[in-house]
Structure 1
Amino acid sequence: MANTSLTTHDTPLHEFYASCPEGFETALADELRGMGLRQVRPLKGRVAFAGSPADAERACLWSRLASRIFVVLGRFACANAEDLYEATRSIAWERILRAGATIAVTARGTNDELRNSHFAALRVKDALCDRMLEVEGRRPNVDTDDPDARISLTLRGNRASIQFDLSGDPLFKRLPREATRTHAAHVLRPDYAALACAQGNWQEICSAALTNTKDAMGDEDTAAPADGSASANGSALAGSTAERPTPTLPVMIDACCAGGGVVLEAASILADRAPGLERRNWGFQSWSEHDAAAWRELLDEADRRAELAQGRVARIVATDPSGDAVACARRVLKAAGLADRVIFAQPDLDKISRKLMMPACCGGEPRGFVFLDTTETAISKMSRVLDLATSLHAGACGADPVRAMLSTMPTVALTRDDLLIRTLGEPARSLRVMPNNEEAELAVFSAANGAISAGEGNVAAEDSMPAEDAVESDVAPSPATTLIDLGDGKPCPVLIPESEQFARRLRKVAKLRRKWAQREGVTCYRVYDADLPDYSAAIDLYEGSATTPGRWLVIAEYAAPREVDPALAEARLLDILTLAPRILQVDPDNVFAKARIRSRGGSQYGKQAGGSNPGKGSKPRGGHGGSAPANRPGQGAGSGTPSDIRTRRLPLIEEGGLTFAVNFNDYLDTGIFLDHRITRGLVREHARGKRFFLNLFAYTGTATCYAADAGVEETVTVDLSNTYLDWAERNMEQNGFVGPDHHYVRADVMSWIRDMRQTRNRWDLIFCDPPTFSNSSKMGRRTWDVQRDHVELLVGLSRLLSREGEVIFSCNLRTFRPDIEELARAGVVLTDITDETIPEDFARNKKIHHCYLVKRYTSEEAMRRIGMSEDAIRERTRELREASARKPADTKRFRR
């Protein structure tokens, strides 16, 4: 169909331009030409065109790619403020602005004399108001928050232009409210979504879509173009039917739909819904050349086109490995009234193929594209996305017409790394874009098998080939991937051929670990711990209790050394994430990736960035330093306010006859440290026959549960985080340990110890597992460093012990060295029991933690026990005699 504008040849032309993000210019120019606009010229960050006011308003109504539409009011030389004022005042504002319109003026750019854009905007405003006062006898009101008319100044050297913003709010502000609510999943901005659709020629494909009414019987008047040009339903602007493109069957697959931004835009294009149809306030409504009747005709035409497009036959299929993302996409589509246009499927080629099957549509040629947005994908889900992308891109070599069709469809991807290039090969073309002000690449990968004829490409009818009878055929591997045999009859694609060595090693160690775990009665354990240096990660397997059965993997990547190519390290991690669930027989949905990087002296961390999805938003790539995963949360790492951890449904695991809640989603740790399995048993052993137990830096209270299980009369659990205290109380309650003798205290541990030393509260057994480093704001000005502060901590703990009491002290700083002599001077003796507390599944990492038994003696005895000289002992004894007497202790007994 020939596209023509509403402008007639004798209408004076205005100069307009549409602004856009960089990278959009070519696609926006094509869109404006598709509307029949003339003199279209793509420039940097904008596209100029000429036409009538109605043409500009058509662009406002229909453009999906433009940010704003401007009419240029004047261009002039501008060397200084006086030039700016005089040129602005010479513009006939009284013939431009509607009476009573409020204004706001903005400015961009500077020159040698006009170095402040705010000052330049004020000069434009003053000149405009002075002109209106002189001619009309009134000054327009200024409203910088919500003006009727937005005037902008652009300075480039000694040239300036002034333009009127006809859009009002940016044109991309058109998402339904559901997409912008708090805690909603990321939804790609509509103009970026439209650009992705443009790269897949979606508008052109939908323009020629078949309908299930007259079109199917050969009526040429029912199809409407998907761009902003005039409709074909009898309009005087319609082209001849001979120009009608071959009828198509639009097919679009969003294989990683995130919050649904692209499928929302694709469904809107399919429905031929004008993107500006729901907007009520426009900048051009304050333009004196705005014709309300002509605008009403544009709106009526848009309504007719949407009505005609209701019968279009198409398939838009969306999927995502994240259930949260799919739920958000469903809500967004429902809020936009387009839920019936999109089909959701599981992220699996077979299931997507079944969703694509539909009744044959009178010879319509299937055309479309596959889209992926991996910019917000959790790293733990990326391997599934890449596997699906490979399958969809390659299609099939067999007789399955659905998969054969897939091999003819290009893939459009929005990504921030080169993983898709490694998977699919070099793109045919790409654009650098900036969604969310972060650089990304919008790449187009050519179809695997090229074009196919209409007869070959028809999607199979459901009744002609039931899903269960479909011919299974091997997916052709991408040239950038390698298929390896895992022994289960299903070849697995990997990015790096050397990953086959990792697969063999993991299968071997998993078999050995499984036998050991069954023999020891252990259900949660480390399967792999950087056994191969190039595949530097830790893999932990968790098996649920009978109450919450299931199997989960937590894969923690060790930060790569600086000399390792970050892209190579990322590809290795993706191969680990692909292979581990297959070899260990865990549902890929139950795989959680954590990235650990070294901070000062170790690590302190709590919540994952991004919140509800593992790895989401944290972008755990490109870390350096070669450090091991950190294993402890810092003080106050959890929320300082009451949490929902006690009421949430969480997986339960069993250890030592006790049950604990674990959380794989929200935190970098799961709620239990597997390397302390033996240490917790030691707590139980030493707690037998004891009355009072104290757990400091208690985390989720697992040690408290072991002590309570040993029969202690009273427990005190101290942590700075309300979240962890609630978690600890939940763990205690579900093991049956409730009542007034179990106390939970939110406090800074060091301050709390100082306070307790002033009381008569003493404990028979203390467990203390501090973080390596912490600078929580809840600690006030002080920070915590275990190497620096351990003497103060242990001396304080020794003063809280009963006569026969002892401390089990642990820390995970690999280079930790206790100051034995200084501690002995204070009457504190440490016995290193580290080797006894390292479980077999952590035997490769003997420095995963350090563990000591701590007891108090007189200074003289303590110094003799560690072998200090008699001279040093006599000197210390003299110092103590000269020390001032301590303050009397308070007689109050501890209460929560």
Structure 2
Amino acid sequence: MKFFATAPRGLTTALADELTSLGLEQIRPTGAGVHFQGPLEAAYRACLWSRLADRVLLPITDLEAPSGDALYEGVKGIRWERHLNSHGTLAVDCSASRAAITHSQYAALRVKDAVVDRFREQFGERPSVDTETPDVRINLHLRGDRARLSIDLSGTGLHRRGYRSSGAAAPLKENLAAGILHLAGWPQIAASGGSLFDPLCGSGTLLIEGALMAGDIAPGLYREYFGFLGWKRHEQQTWEALLKEARERRRQGLDSLPAIIGHDRSKEALAAATTNIEAAGLQGRIRLERHALAPSTLPSGVPAGLLVTNPPYGERLGDEETLQPLYSLLGELLQHHLPDWHGAVFTGNPRLARHVGLKPKGSVTLYNGPIECRLLTYPSVREHGTRAATGEVAVPLANRLRKNLKHLTRWARREGVDCYRIYDQDLPEYAVAIDLYQGEKQWVHVQEYQAPHSVPPETAAERLDEALATIAEVLALPSEQIFLKVRQRQKGGEQYEKLAVNGRFYEIREWNCRFWVNFTDYLDTGLFLDHRLTRRLIQQEAAGKRFLNLFCYTGTATVHAAIGGAVATTSVDLSRTYLEWAERNLRLNGLDLGQHERIAADCRDWLAEEARAGEREYDLIFMDPPTFSTSKRMEGTLDIQRDHVALIRDAIRLLAPGGELIFSNNFRKFRLDTNALADLKVEDITRSTIPEDFRRRPDIHRCWRIRPGGE
């Protein structure tokens, strides 16, 4: 008989190896799973003993399925009475890949109807539907205009071992945990008497799966339901013989379990782990202790083995600063306190993984639900010598950084510039932007651009590790003064959303102005470096003028105008957080807040209303809107390409005689509608507003002077 075992993404090869070790034959891995052949006993053995498979399927037939009706007729012609009693129960699952029938639920319904109608017509009664524990679960897979129908012998996902009755937050699926252990070499370590230690064990899934592996315990032994138990062709004697063998192997294996230890600081997590361990029949076999991760709480008196853990990934980018010490401590423990132990860290955040500070010997991409993760494995110090730090210095990048610094440092000193960009994707392999900020200390703000789909995630992560190591080497900075963010296409108001609540601000200087910047809590730092010359232009022209700053962000242009002698300023932004930040910047420069109005409003609505009212006049207006924006506090959306003409016209109506508007945006595909603005005087001043450190990126923004046409 021919069977197919489905596998989690990333574990197909490991599953093929596992099925081979179970004595199964004709093993043939594919992208989605592994084909194998043998008697029915082979499928039963896979269901009972596979630690990695999702399901075990028995293919029945392939059909033409260009439409729902064709699928129905083909399914109805199958002799389902060979598989199911007319008074039995069934369920239908469907998956599809570029299928002619695009709605999987509709396809599953058509299959169910065909089976039921066949029974009704032939036997006068029909099976009923049971989605939880049916006698027969039919698996339908659609690809193009073909359909493959199979009997799901597993019945439900094989990761459901039957022992997990309680779980901590975001537990690993059991077969994913087993895959992690398999790839980390735990079966070999356990066979040699090594111990297993998870210092962040949560609900204990890695510990339990490790015990089942080490104890030669079948992972399906605890399940009460398989899809073949109600199937008409089920061989009960064959199944009973396999269960008898598994129970005997469990009895012998329990007596030879190595030390398995789990720590966690959470009382609730340990309570969940205790419940699960008892349900797995492993009480007294796994040692749980409540400890925070620390050198003083490491296991003692047990043989060295494998430290394996699934630390938190951080739900938002800003969580990284909080979690960095945790990852660094894992590396310190492996490097200095557990030199005989192997290590394995499974994480969905490769940026945090680099803080382990060690060079992994292996990196495998796996998926925890929809989250793309990496399993990083580390050799023991005793066997392989001192572990190298992650991220070796990249010589081409180091040379380019040194070259840029030699030029830009002289330029910055001559110009009196303290914060500037020193690298921006100069080399295509290292797709990062690097900004240097100088104040009480030096800080580096690194933005990683999202890698194209053609670059494998492992390659992108390795290059980032190399880039960060190179930055630290060339600039001689400790890691705590280097801040990393991922720069990717933003939607709506995402560029303004808070990423963390760290709240740490650093004072920097821009010529005769001072500003607060924040490297962790937001995507941007609070200071757009590419607009440095635009802000200086505003300061030079602000003396004696009334200044309006629209979409004011943190008010840096307002500060320049005030320092330049503006008699009054108005700053408008929808974000109260940024207006408070603007107020802090004004106070930092010793400015009288009474002269500097701050208004929380949707700039589009405020501008249109003030233009209609005609009660305000400004001599100088600066408007630097986002490309696209939406917010719960604003009606509709802002699309700068669509809306810029209306924004500019409303701003022009607020200008006093002789006044001017400086209009800018950073949408690289932006086209100013000169026809719609033909009656205005428009001067493109982009080139004069691009600073020296952004010369390689002349499209970083566009900027215009705009005046009424009669002047």
User: TM-score range with shorter-chain normalisation?
Assistant: 0.5 to 0.7
Contact 2:181 2:206 in 1 (8 A): yes
Matching residue within 535, 548, 551 for 2:443: 551
Partner deviation per Cα, 1:285-314 (whole Å, 9 max, x = no partner): 656867999969967975885675252544
Instruction: Provide the C-alpha distance between the structure 1 equivalents of 2:426 and 2:500, rounded to a whole number of angstroms.
Output: 37
Corresponding position: 1:505 with 2:361: no
Instruction: Provide the C-alpha distance between the structure 1 equivalents of 2:461 and 2:150, rounded to a whole number of angstroms.
Output: 49
1:147-162 to 2 correspondences below 5 Å: 147=134, 149-152=136-139
Instruction: Provide the C-alpha distance between the structure 2 equivalents of 1:718 and 1:505, rounded to a whole number of angstroms.
Output: 41
AA aligned opposite 2:363: A
Instruction: Provide the C-alpha distance between the structure 1 equivalents of 2:456 and 2:153, rounded to a whole number of angstroms.
Output: 47
Matching residue within 587, 590, 593 for 2:478: 587
Matching residue within 502, 505, 516 for 1:660: 516
Corresponding position: 1:356 with 2:338: yes
Q: What displacement does 1:209 show?
A: 3.5
Q: What displacement does 1:685 show?
A: 5.9
Aligned to 2:187: 203
Change in CA separation of 1:739 and 1:16 when aligned onto 2, cut-off 3 Å: farther
Change in CA separation of 1:772 and 1:179 when aligned onto 2, cut-off 3 Å: closer
1:476-875 to 2 correspondences below 5 Å: 493-494=392-393, 498-499=396-397, 501-506=399-404, 508-509=406-407, 512=410, 515=413, 520=416, 522-528=417-423, 538-543=433-438, 551-555=443-447, 575-588=466-479, 590-592=482-484, 594=486, 606=490, 636=493, 638=495, 649-655=503-509, 656-664=512-520, 666-667=522-523, 669-683=524-538, 689=544, 693-706=547-560, 716-719=570-573, 722=574, 724-733=575-584, 735-736=586-587, 742-747=597-602, 749=604, 752-771=606-625, 773-774=627-628, 780=636, 783-785=639-641, 793-803=647-657, 805-812=659-666, 825-826=679-680, 828=681, 835=688, 839=691, 841-842=693-694, 849=701, 855-856=707-708, 859=710, 862=711
Instruction: Provide the C-alpha distance between the structure 2 equivalents of 1:205 and 1:285, rounded to a whole number of angstroms.
Output: 36
Structure 2 residue runs of 5 or longer lacking an equivalent are 65-69, 261-302, 320-324
Change in CA separation of 1:738 and 1:168 when aligned onto 2, cut-off 3 Å: farther
Corresponding position: 1:104 with 2:106: no
Matching residue within 305, 324, 335 for 1:315: 305
AA aligned opposite 2:577: D
Aligned to 2:291: none
Matching residue within 36, 49, 69 for 2:56: 69
1:410-425 to 2 correspondences below 5 Å: 411-415=361-365
Change in CA separation of 1:663 and 1:677 when aligned onto 2, cut-off 3 Å: same
Contact 2:571 2:599 in 1 (8 A): yes
Q: What displacement does 1:799 show?
A: 1.5
Change in CA separation of 1:344 and 1:758 when aligned onto 2, cut-off 3 Å: closer
What SS does the aligned partner of 1:324 have?
Answer: coil
Aligned to 1:395: none
Q: Bigger shift: 580-589 or 774-783?
A: 774-783
Instruction: Provide the C-alpha distance between the structure 2 equivalents of 1:39 and 1:318, rounded to a whole number of angstroms.
Output: 32
Corresponding position: 1:166 with 2:149: no
Aligned to 1:324: 314
Instruction: Provide the C-alpha distance between the structure 2 equivalents of 1:75 and 1:833, rounded to a whole number of angstroms.
Output: 66
- TM-score by length of structure 1 reads 0.54
Aligned to 2:274: none
Change in CA separation of 1:302 and 1:57 when aligned onto 2, cut-off 3 Å: farther
AA aligned opposite 2:640: W
Instruction: Provide the C-alpha distance between the structure 1 equivalents of 2:647 and 2:20, rounded to a whole number of angstroms.
Output: 74
Change in CA separation of 1:583 and 1:300 when aligned onto 2, cut-off 3 Å: same
What SS does the aligned partner of 2:128 have?
Answer: coil
Contact 1:348 1:388 in 2 (8 A): no
AA aligned opposite 2:443: R
Matching residue within 324, 340, 346 for 2:328: 346
AA aligned opposite 2:186: W
Q: What displacement does 1:315 show?
A: 3.0
Instruction: Provide the C-alpha distance between the structure 2 equivalents of 1:75 and 1:818, rounded to a whole number of angstroms.
Output: 61
Change in CA separation of 1:636 and 1:739 when aligned onto 2, cut-off 3 Å: farther
Q: Bigger shift: 15-24 or 760-769?
A: 15-24
Change in CA separation of 1:782 and 1:741 when aligned onto 2, cut-off 3 Å: closer
Partner deviation per Cα, 1:214-263 (whole Å, 9 max, x = no partner): xxxxxxxxxxxxxxxxxxxxxxxxxxxxxxxxxxx368999xx9x99989
What SS does the aligned partner of 2:51 have?
Answer: coil
Instruction: Provide the C-alpha distance between the structure 1 equivalents of 2:316 and 2:580, rounded to a whole number of angstroms.
Output: 34
AA aligned opposite 1:680: R
What SS does the aligned partner of 1:93 have?
Answer: coil
AA aligned opposite 2:52: L
Instruction: Provide the C-alpha distance between the structure 2 equivalents of 1:637 and 1:159, rounded to a whole number of angstroms.
Output: 42
Partner deviation per Cα, 1:171-209 (whole Å, 9 max, x = no partner): 37999854648xxxxx7x654564464456532442x24
Contact 1:29 1:42 in 2 (8 A): yes
1:113-124 to 2 correspondences below 5 Å: 119-124=110-115
AA aligned opposite 1:651: F
AA aligned opposite 1:124: V
| Paired residues, number | 632
AA aligned opposite 1:551: W
Aligned to 1:125: 116
Change in CA separation of 1:60 and 1:152 when aligned onto 2, cut-off 3 Å: same
Change in CA separation of 1:474 and 1:40 when aligned onto 2, cut-off 3 Å: closer
What SS does the aligned partner of 1:758 have?
Answer: helix
1:140-289 to 2 correspondences below 5 Å: 140-144=127-131, 147=134, 149-152=136-139, 163-171=151-159, 177-178=167-168, 180=170, 191=175, 194-195=178-179, 197-199=181-183, 201-206=185-190, 208-210=191-193, 249=194, 269=213, 275=219, 282-283=226-227, 286=230
Q: What displacement does 1:578 show?
A: 3.1
Change in CA separation of 1:86 and 1:273 when aligned onto 2, cut-off 3 Å: same
Aligned to 1:377: 350
Aligned to 1:232: none
What SS does the aligned partner of 1:761 have?
Answer: coil
AA aligned opposite 1:554: V
Change in CA separation of 1:322 and 1:512 when aligned onto 2, cut-off 3 Å: farther
Q: What displacement does 1:551 show?
A: 2.1
Change in CA separation of 1:105 and 1:129 when aligned onto 2, cut-off 3 Å: farther
Instruction: Provide the C-alpha distance between the structure 2 equivalents of 1:171 and 1:569, rounded to a whole number of angstroms.
Output: 31
Instruction: Provide the C-alpha distance between the structure 1 equivalents of 2:508 and 2:35, rounded to a whole number of angstroms.
Output: 64
Change in CA separation of 1:327 and 1:699 when aligned onto 2, cut-off 3 Å: closer
Instruction: Provide the C-alpha distance between the structure 2 equivalents of 1:458 and 1:734, rounded to a whole number of angstroms.
Output: 50
What SS does the aligned partner of 1:346 have?
Answer: helix
Instruction: Provide the C-alpha distance between the structure 1 equivalents of 2:703 and 2:215, rounded to a whole number of angstroms.
Output: 66
Q: Between Structure 1 and Structure 2, which shows a larger proportion of strand residues?
A: 2
1:51-90 to 2 correspondences below 5 Å: 59-70=46-57, 85=76, 88-90=79-81
Q: What displacement does 1:104 show?
A: 0.9
Instruction: Provide the C-alpha distance between the structure 2 equivalents of 1:814 and 1:83, rounded to a whole number of angstroms.
Output: 54
Aligned to 1:227: none
Contact 1:105 1:124 in 2 (8 A): no
Change in CA separation of 1:649 and 1:689 when aligned onto 2, cut-off 3 Å: same
Instruction: Provide the C-alpha distance between the structure 1 equivalents of 2:119 and 2:694, rounded to a whole number of angstroms.
Output: 75
Partner deviation per Cα, 1:577-636 (whole Å, 9 max, x = no partner): 43122211333463425557xxxxxxxx546xxxxxxxxxxxxxxxxxxxxxxxxxxx84
**Radius of gyration: which is bigger?**
1
AA aligned opposite 2:259: G
Q: What root-mean-square deviation, in Å, do the aligned CA atoms of Structure 1 and Structure 2 show? A: 6.2
AA aligned opposite 1:696: L
